[in-house]
Amino acid sequence: MAQIINGKEVAQKVRSEIAAEVENMKAKGIVPGLAVVIVGEDPASKVYVRNKKLACAEVGIYSEEYALPEKTSEEELLALIDRLNEKKEIHGILVQAPLPDGFDFKKVTERISPFKDVDAFHPYNVGKIMIGDFDFLPCTPAGVMELLKHYDISVEGKKCVVLGRSNIVGKPQAMLLLKENGTVTICHSRTKDLASITANADILVVAIGRGEFVKADMVKEGAVVIDVGMNRNKEGKLVGDVAFSEVSEKAAYITPVPGGVGPMTITMLLKNTLKAASLFGND
């Protein structure tokens, strides 16, 4: 039976460290600040924004929320971003996705100052990740690396397979594993003989958004399995992209859903905000 990688526990430990660093910064006269912008009434987005606000309060980060109505124009959103780029109390800016129809997310992302881009979606920061010289990391892949580090799971020399190639998780995850000297393969919907590749992985990271897709026959005995997925099954139960009950019998380590990677995502957002304040707080 696999050892469970407890994301809640690790997130709490990291948040305690962040809170201590925030106190140190406040003693130097810098209060880290995060602005979260939401457009429209998407229920899931509203929950995420509320959770981000609570997380900021927990570690002592100053936060501002901008809830814009559905009928907000793209020009109005871009103008707000311009103002936040100039605002000295704000070190991090996050625009909650998805945006309503009619918005160009790429244009919105590129309008955020790369020095306040705590989601690490701006092409400037994506490029820095590519060359391994970054200030900010996308929150979910960074959370995965923090979990591996906490459980003393070395990446060096391991065969690492990332299932999924999104700009938010799959691609940056592959770059971070590569930076730690893993030998990385990226698989996706067009990959042939998928199971033969995943079954060879020492570390398997799954981020495809398909409930319980990865079965035991796709996993190597003793592998580390990181499940980034979050889906609802037919019974309405929250499940990951990995069939947990059968894969946990074969893996050495596995993340549960919920309670695995999820708690780390907002925690790494806090870490990015702290970093932005420490790097650019006096500008």
Q: For residues 214 and 204, is the Cβ–Cβ distance under 8 A?
A: yes
Q: Other CB atoms closer than 10 Å to residue 118's CB: what's the count?
A: 29
Amino acid code (one letter) for 165: R
How far apart are the C-alpha atoms of 143 and 126, rounded to whole Å? 17
- Please pick, among 117, 119, 202, 227, the residue that the annotation labels catalytic: 119
CA distance 59 to 155: 30
Among residues 96, 158, 241, 271, the one annotated as catalytic is 96
CA distance 207 to 229: 5
Instruction: For residue 227, give every residue at least 6 positions away whose Cβ sits within 8 Å of its Cβ, in sequence order, or none.
Output: 206, 214, 240, 241, 242, 244, 254, 255, 256, 257, 260, 261
Residue type at 44?
Answer: A
For the question of residue 12 being annotated catalytic, the response is no
Q: How far apart are CA 276 and CA 122, in angstroms?
A: 14
Terminal-to-terminal C-alpha distance of the chain? 51
Active-site choice (26, 42, 46, 52): 52
Pairwise CA distance, residues 33 & 153, whole Å: 33
Q: Active site includes 52?
A: yes
* Closest listed residue to residue 91, CA positions, set 136, 124, 40: 136
C-alpha distance from residue 82 to each of 61, 71, 88, 203 (Å) = 22, 19, 12, 41
Known catalytic membership, residue 119: yes
Catalytic site positions: 52, 96, 119
